[in-house]
Structures are given as C-alpha cells and as structure tokens.
C-alpha cells in the first residue's frame, strides 16, 4: 500500500503564528517531543533582534512557561522550554495524529503561515485531515508525493546535511543553472550563456557551480552508500 508525503500551509489562531504575523520576515522553526518545545528564530535583520527578544519573553509569559535554555547563534536564536499543551487553541499536531498521519518536524512559521509536512497512509486519511482543518482555518496544499518504497528510505537526509555547507554565491549559481534549464535533458543552455545573462564571468560562474555540485554530492555520498548496501 503506498504512502504519501504531503506539504501544506495554514493560518489559524495560535501564539506562535501570532508572533510570526508580528515579525513576517523571521523564520520560526518548532520541534516538540511533548516534554520540551524547541524554537529557533532566524532573523537576518539584526536591528529587529531587541524587539523580537521582547516578543519572545511576552510569548513565554502568555504560555505560562520559563525558558530553560537560551542560545544565540547569529542570525539564529534557539530557546528550549517545557512543553505547553495549547488547550485554548486548535492544536494542529493533535489533529494530524487523530487522522492517523505522521508529522515531520519541524513545523515552520513564517509570514503569518504555518508550514507542515506529513506522512499519510491512505487517501481517506488525507481527505479527513483536510476536511477537519478547513472547519476552522485557511489551508493551502503545497506538495503531494507518492512514496512506493519504505518510509525509511525517503527521509534520511536533513536540509542542513544537504545544503548547509553552500555559500550564498554557490546557491545562486545552482539556482541559475536550474532555472535556465542547464540540467534538463537535452540541455537547453550552456554555462557561457548563463554567465552572460547574469552578468558574471564564465570562469566565476562555473567555479561557484562546480563547488556547489561537489558539496552536495559529497553530502549525499553516505546515503548512496547506505542505499547500495541495503538493496
């Protein structure tokens, strides 16, 4: 029986999403194990940090919890606090579980939206989940992927493992290559043409692109080896 990876975003009344509304450019990542809540706030605008820190203190007072750990790693601030069940709000995690789906953490809050990824094990569960969510919040489906292999094979690698070592210039070069059809079959454009379009020297563009490719392949290598040994 196939399983499905579903991505969606929603808006509803929630202390974390209220904070996201106040600071739309801040990315809030939320993990929980029902014992502790871990929140990461990524803020590129350093002038906003004092206001964000005041808002975080206000949030913990509202939730009735105390921060047990607070770590600043520019541009990210991470806090750990005791788990707080949001009984006064519709708790999305509970609704996901009630409909026999598995949430893939973290939940992301950005620009007044909450972003979720789940594993669903039947079409009926997907329909029931969205039917329940649509009763009290605005929901938009983002992605849907059918998984015909074991779930274990689909969710081994994190984004930090895959992309964390790339520089901004390398990411830009990679995105230019993808967006201009460099990796399509047949190839629609050359590195010379992409460099000319972007106003970059060919050698500079190729250097950034090759370094990006090398880093990604290096990050994926352990997972390729694991897969080859289990098939």
What would the pLDDT profile of 86-120 be if each residue is shown by its tens digit? 655 667 888 999 999 998 888 999 999 999 999 99
Q: Rounded mean pLDDT of 49-64?
A: 89
Residue listed under structure tokens 């990796």:
183
pTM (global) more than 0.85: no
Q: Please write the tens of the pLDDT for every residue from 188-217.
A: 899 999 999 999 999 999 999 999 999 888
**Which domains does the chain carry?**
3-153 (no CATH), 159-229 (1.10.10.10)
| Helices marked H in the chain | 15-22, 49-63, 92-98, 123-133, 159-163, 168-179, 191-198, 202-229
Tell me which range, 61-70, 131-140, 217-226, is most confidently predicted by mean pLDDT: 131-140
């Amino acid at each position: 029986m196939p399983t499905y990876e579903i991505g969606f975003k929603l808006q509803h009344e929630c202390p974390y999403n209220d904070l996201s509304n106040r600071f739309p450019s801040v990315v809030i990542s939320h993990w929980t194990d029902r014992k502790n809540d871990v929140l990461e706030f990524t803020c590129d605008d350093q002038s906003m940090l004092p206001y964000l820190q005041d808002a975080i203190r206000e949030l913990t007072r509202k939730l009735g919890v105390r921060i047990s750990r607070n770590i600043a790693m520019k541009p990210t601030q991470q806090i750990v606090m005791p788990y707080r069940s949001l009984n006064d709000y519709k708790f999305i995690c509970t609704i996901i579980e009630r409909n026999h789906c598995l949430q893939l953490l973290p939940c992301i809050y950005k620009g007044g939206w909450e972003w979720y990824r789940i594993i669903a094990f039947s079409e009926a569960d997907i329909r029931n989940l969205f039917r329940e969510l649509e009763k009290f919040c605005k929901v938009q489906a983002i992605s849907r992927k059918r998984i015909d292999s074991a779930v274990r094979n689909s969710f081994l690698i994190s984004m930090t493992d895959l992309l964390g070592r790339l520089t901004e210039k390398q990411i830009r070069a990679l995105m230019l290559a993808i967006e201009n059809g460099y990796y399509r079959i047949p190839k629609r454009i050359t590195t010379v043409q992409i460099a000319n379009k972007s106003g970059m020297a060919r050698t500079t563009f190729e250097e950034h692109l090759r370094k990006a490719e090398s880093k990604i392949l290096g990050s994926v290598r352990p997972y390729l080896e694991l897969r080859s040994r289990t098939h």
